[in-house]
Amino acid sequence: MDEENSLDEALKGKIPPGDEILYERQVDAHTGAVTKTPYLIKRAAVITGEVIADARVRMDGEYGDPYISITFDKRGALLFARVTEANVKRRLAIVLDGNVYSAPVIQEKIEGGKAQITGRFSSEEARDLAIVLRAGSLPAPVNIQEQRTVGPSLGHDTIRMGIFASLIGGMLGVLFMTVYYRFSGLLANFASF
């Protein structure tokens, strides 16, 4: 039995109603070892991705460390200010599909519709987190039902069909000119070659 299941089993019946335990999974770049950090999360989201207008990776000018810059829409700015004011020094988990991607600590009330998530991110981790934040604003979940790959033979087939269509069109044009204009059409066809 792995750690996740054993913790869930140990806390069964002790988790407050309306809460759940979700995990942040971190992979060590050097060893590939996976570390799971449990968080007690409210089931009902306080803020959803639909109020996020944009999330981008930026670089700190002083040290060159990456951070995530978030911009909220008008409604989101007001909601975020209210939530951050009520939860100073507490964590705000960023959750997508049941996985915690980050749980930064709120340092102070954040007003103005812009926020930053700082931490010990690699550039790739910061980029992934920004993508998760932007993905949260999608109105519906996206499920890949089918995936197709187009090979180089499609280009060859298209060129071959284009040449074939040009030859057929040219022959029909010569035939029309010859039938409709008779001798004059035949002369015009030979003159064009």
Examine the domain organization and report whether 115 and 159 are in the same domain: no
- Which of 86, 75, 133 is closest to 109 using CA atoms? 86
Examine the domain organization and report whether 26 and 52 are in the same domain: no
Question: What's the rounded mean pLDDT across residues 70-96?
Answer: 88
Q: Comparing 7 with 179, which gets the higher pLDDT? A: 179
Q: Has residue 27 been placed in a domain?
A: yes
Give the number of domains in the chain: 3
Measured distance CA(7)–CA(19) in Å, rounded: 15
Per-residue model confidence as pLDDT tens digits over 120-140: 777 888 888 888 887 765 454
Q: Has residue 82 been placed in a domain?
A: yes
Examine the domain organization and report whether 7 and 64 are in the same domain: no
Examine the domain organization and report whether 89 and 126 are in the same domain: yes
The answer to whether residue 13 scores a pLDDT higher than 80 is no
Q: Has residue 145 been placed in a domain?
A: no
The answer to whether residue 168 scores a pLDDT higher than 90 is yes
Question: What's the rounded mean pLDDT across residues 17-21?
Answer: 84
Examine the domain organization and report whether 40 and 58 are in the same domain: no
Q: Has residue 59 been placed in a domain?
A: yes
pLDDT given at position 131: 83
Q: Has residue 182 been placed in a domain?
A: yes
Q: Has residue 148 been placed in a domain?
A: no
Examine the domain organization and report whether 40 and 50 are in the same domain: no
The answer to whether residue 165 scores a pLDDT higher than 90 is yes
Neighbours of 174 (CB within 10 A): 17
**What are the residue ranges of helices labelled H in the chain?**
3-10, 74-86, 123-135, 153-192
Examine the domain organization and report whether 135 and 177 are in the same domain: no
Question: What's the rounded mean pLDDT across residues 161-173?
Answer: 93
Question: What's the rounded mean pLDDT across residues 22-30?
Answer: 80
Per-residue model confidence as pLDDT tens digits over 96-117: 778 888 888 888 888 888 888 8
Cα 20-25-28 angle, rounded to 5 deg: 160
Examine the domain organization and report whether 116 and 32 are in the same domain: no
The answer to whether residue 61 scores a pLDDT higher than 80 is no
Q: Report the SS3 class of residue 189.
A: helix
CATH number reported for the structural domain that contains residue 83 in this entry: 3.30.1360.200
Examine the domain organization and report whether 50 and 135 are in the same domain: yes
Examine the domain organization and report whether 134 and 180 are in the same domain: no
The one-letter code for the residue type at 128 is: D
Last residue of a domain, one of 44, 62, 79: 44
The answer to whether residue 10 scores a pLDDT higher than 90 is no
Q: Has residue 146 been placed in a domain?
A: no
Share of the chain above pLDDT 90, in %: 9
Examine the domain organization and report whether 135 and 57 are in the same domain: yes
Measured distance CA(39)–CA(102) in Å, rounded: 10
Q: Has residue 36 been placed in a domain?
A: yes
The answer to whether residue 35 scores a pLDDT higher than 70 is yes
Mean pLDDT of the chain: 82
- Domain containing 111 equals 46-139
Q: Report the SS3 class of residue 49.
A: helix
